[in-house]
């Protein structure tokens, strides 16, 4: 009897709620912590990044229009599906990063809990950040938070899953759409998360995940006129971060450059980095 051959998984990009191959046909190798070859991952090109921006703009229209309560429900659903695939996440973290099963399980649990934490903020941000302003004259004056738009972020290499959730959740909780460039050394957990997202009622295009060389993809995204903000918290190379800020300046993008992901400290400030405040005047008595 012949030995059964294992069915190898084909890893693709996640754009517009679908899993396309890179249009370039390029791949890069992923190795385990011990150096063993694991798989080939799709290496996103500039064309793939452009497709992700188009998808993110469409996704922003539906995600930002959803009620805050509904966004919280969807994010909680993401945590539910992550819980169901926690064993797979643990195995992948151990395979790529080494370390004990206990350490990997703790990171997975913290990542799931972090998604729930952000989900709880979805319908509370407006009350905390918005306000009614005292003004001279017969007017009501309100400050109302609104999402910035399309936010591009680089996922940190460590902690692989928790860092990815930190970057992603703080963007989408307020209604922004996102393009996440996965860590080149830890891409497998990012695509597994994409499979979670695909079955979690997330509108197509609201979240897009690219794998490949961040130094190739991010500068083009940073200069794209339809990208509204950048989160460089996961960029480890200081020179690349400076280049990205320079590219972003051409279209006046908002840039977040913080060590919060490395320090693993979620905060209200991180969420409000991708909000715009709209001031509304309304005459009294009308």
Residues 96-123 have a mean pLDDT of: 94
- CATH architecture observed for domain 27-283: 3-Layer(aba) Sandwich (3.40)
Q: How confident is the model at residue 286 (pLDDT cuts 50, 70, 90)?
A: low
Inter-residue contact 139 to 281 (CB < 8 Å): yes
- Evaluate if residue 96 carries a pLDDT over 60: yes
Name the CA radius of gyration of the chain, rounded. Answer: 20
Per the prediction, the chain carries an average pLDDT of 92
**190-210 pLDDT per residue, tens:** 999 999 999 999 999 999 999
> What is the pLDDT, as a whole number, of residue 170?
94
pLDDT, tens only, 6-20: 888 889 999 999 999
Phi-psi region of 151 (alpha: psi -120 to 50; beta: other; left: phi over 0): beta
pLDDT of residue 1: 60
Q: Where are the domains of the chain?
A: 27-283
Q: How many other β-carbons are positioned within 10 Å of the β-carbon of residue 119?
A: 21
Confidence of residue 264 (pLDDT cuts 50, 70, 90): low
Residue pair 86/115 in contact (Cβ under 8 Å)? The answer is: no
Per-residue pLDDT tens over the stretch 137-150? 888 888 889 999 99
Cα 42 from Cα 28, distance rounded (Å): 7
Tokens of 107: 């990171």
pLDDT band, residue 59 (cuts 50/70/90): very high
Res. 179: pLDDT tops 90: yes
| Res 117 pLDDT > 70 | yes
**Alpha-carbon span 181 to 151, nearest angstrom:** 11
255-264: b or e for each residue (b if 16 or more CB lie within 10 Å)?
Answer: bbeeebbeee
The mean per-residue pLDDT over the stretch 125-143 comes to 87
Nearest partner of 146 among 158, 130, 163, 162, judged by Cα: 130
Task: Give the model confidence (pLDDT) of 216-241 as tens digits.
Answer: 999 999 999 999 999 998 898 899 99
By C-alpha distance, which of 109, 115, 107 is closest to 74?
A: 115
Cβ within 8 Å of residue 207, ≥6 positions away = 14, 59, 168, 172, 177, 178, 180, 194, 197
**Residues 6 or more apart whose Cβ sits within 8 Å of residue 201:** 73, 74, 77
- Residue 212: name the closest of 5, 25, 3 by CA: 25
- Answer whether 171's CB lies under 8 Å from 260's CB: no
| pLDDT band at residue 266 using 50, 70 and 90 as cut-offs | confident
What pLDDT shows up at residue 260?
46
Mean predicted confidence (pLDDT) in 124-128? 90
């Amino acid at each position: 009897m012949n030995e059964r051959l294992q069915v190898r998984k084909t890893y693709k990009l996640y754009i517009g709620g679908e899993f396309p191959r890179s249009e370039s046909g390029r791949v890069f190798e992923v190795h385990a912590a011990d150096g063993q070859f694991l798989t080939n991952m799709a290496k996103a090109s500039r064309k793939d990044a452009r497709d992700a921006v188009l998808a993110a703009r469409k996704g922003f229209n539906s995600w930002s229009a959803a009620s805050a309560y509904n966004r919280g429900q969807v994010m909680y659903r993401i945590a539910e599906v992550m819980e169901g695939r926690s064993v797979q996440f643990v195995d992948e973290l151990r395979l790529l990063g080494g370390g004990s099963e206990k350490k990997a399980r703790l990171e997975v649990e913290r990542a799931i809990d972090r998604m729930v934490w952000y989900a709880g903020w979805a319908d509370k941000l407006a009350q905390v950040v918005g306000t009614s302003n005292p003004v001279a004259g017969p007017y009501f004056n309100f400050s109302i938070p609104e999402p910035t738009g399309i936010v591009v972020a680089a996922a940190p290499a460590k902690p692989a899953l928790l860092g990815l959730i930190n970057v992603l959740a703080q963007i989408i909780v307020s209604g922004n759409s996102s393009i996440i460039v996965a860590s080149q050394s830890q891409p497998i957990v990012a695509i597994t998360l994409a499979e979670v997202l695909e079955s979690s009622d997330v509108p197509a295009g609201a979240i897009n995940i690219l794998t490949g060389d961040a130094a190739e993809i991010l500068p083009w995204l940073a200069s794209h006129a339809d990208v509204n903000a950048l989160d460089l918290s996961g960029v480890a190379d200081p020179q690349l971060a400076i280049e990205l800020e320079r590219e972003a300046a051409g279209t006046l993008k908002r840039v977040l450059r913080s060590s919060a992901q490395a320090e693993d400290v979620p905060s209200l400030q991180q969420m409000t980095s991708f909000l715009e405040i709209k001031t509304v005047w309304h005459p009294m008595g009308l």
